[in-house]
Structure 1
Amino acid sequence: MLITQHYLADDAQSKVLDWPKRFHIINGIARGLMYLHQDSQLRIIHRDLKANNILLDKDMNPKISDFGIAKICEENDIGAKTNRVVGTYGYLSPEYALHGRYSVKSDVFSFGILILEIVSGKSNRRFSHPDHNLNLLGLAWKLYKEGRSTELLDEYLGNSCSTPEVERSICVGLLCVQQCPEDRPSMSFVVMMLNNKGVLPQAKRPGFYIETDAPDGELSSSHTETPITILVAR
């Protein structure tokens, strides 16, 4: 088994993952999460979905791993609250990182981050745009608003891309990282959006992004209560 982050972080290995493989991985993770959330006998919230927890087999089929902090919920449970927030900053949803509230929509947020990382080949935690001081979410949102979403694409992908699939993936990623949990799609809807050609909903401003549109060059964020240690890409 190989870890997705190994491919995304290494320039030489990144070239191995052309667009069809990346889209296959995105779809596989989406279907895996859909199974955990609604098709498994036990409804499972993973709570630590990230690139390092996605294993790839020899055929590049993704496997979700590390269920050490996962929670099992009753079928009708909408979520829970904890005083001990665990997981990985850069992937945590706003309501979980700030208030300890988690649900299946927390996993959806983490999946949205993963989509944007797989498309761009960049880490949300480490990326900072040299010209705008934008983190990965901020850059994805800026390009989406300006109708330039495909500029987020990993430079190594070259001509292997299907532009409609790339644009659809980025839009779905942004829909998954909406500030409010109720604005995020279910994983079954995510799978449908990724694999159909219908018109997608318009994404709104994501949670946990930074930009420099504020006066005097001060950083502004989509959640003013968030500690800067969570927002700043590393």
Structure 2
Amino acid sequence: DLQGNVYERQCATTYRYAPCIFEYIYLARPDSVIDGISVYGARLSLGRRLAREVLKWIPKEEIDVVMPIPDSSRPSAQALSAELGIPYVEGFVKNRYIGRTFIQPEQSQRSSGVRIKLNPVYSIVNGKRIVLVDDSIVRGTTMREIVRLARDAGAKKVFVASSAPRVCFPNVYGIDMPTRSELICGDGTDAAGVSRIVGADAVVFQTIPDMIEAVASLNPAIQTFDCSCFDGRYITGDVDEAYLAELDAQAQRIRARSQDA
């Protein structure tokens, strides 16, 4: 109030506390602590869990180096490297004056934004079989361009490892995420399909149980996370196929108006 007093009031009569797990994976700063969980620690934990999944699909002897796609995937890439016993290198330099590309409204902006945002270090990438670690793959635009950059820089093989599971559903609780039709996995595309789309030799995703366990292990007091963009289970219980279809229709109308303008 005007006197500087802070008040707290519970507005909902009943509620289930379920923090958004995507905050820990991508959205939050790495030096943040949310609900007693270090974001940096959560990303390290995600990287360690990811190592098991990587070894299921990619023979260890086919990997020369592990490298992050800066910046948010760096802790996970470091943990993955340590867990696999494979060297960690920085193969891309980031232009810090470019924002997050998956939020750009137009496909052309996202594609050109990637090449302005990231530059490969040729002496590091050339001749290597690399595992590119990203926090998540949303539209796939960024990843497709990065794989192309790595190949243009002379990479012998390009594997991709995502510290998040497949993003199959939009986040409807206030985060500026694409609609379902814009998501690379929104139609159920599996890892092999994503690999073909982005041009990688293989793509590996974190599993949903491993993702939850990686973050929940850092604060057992939290019983539930909102994982709706991965599993389609919206905690408010009022999001159905009709609602998601209407979001897609609204986005299409907005795009049509912008093209006509």
TM superposition score normalised by structure 2:
0.22
Structure (1 or 2) with the larger CA radius of gyration: 2
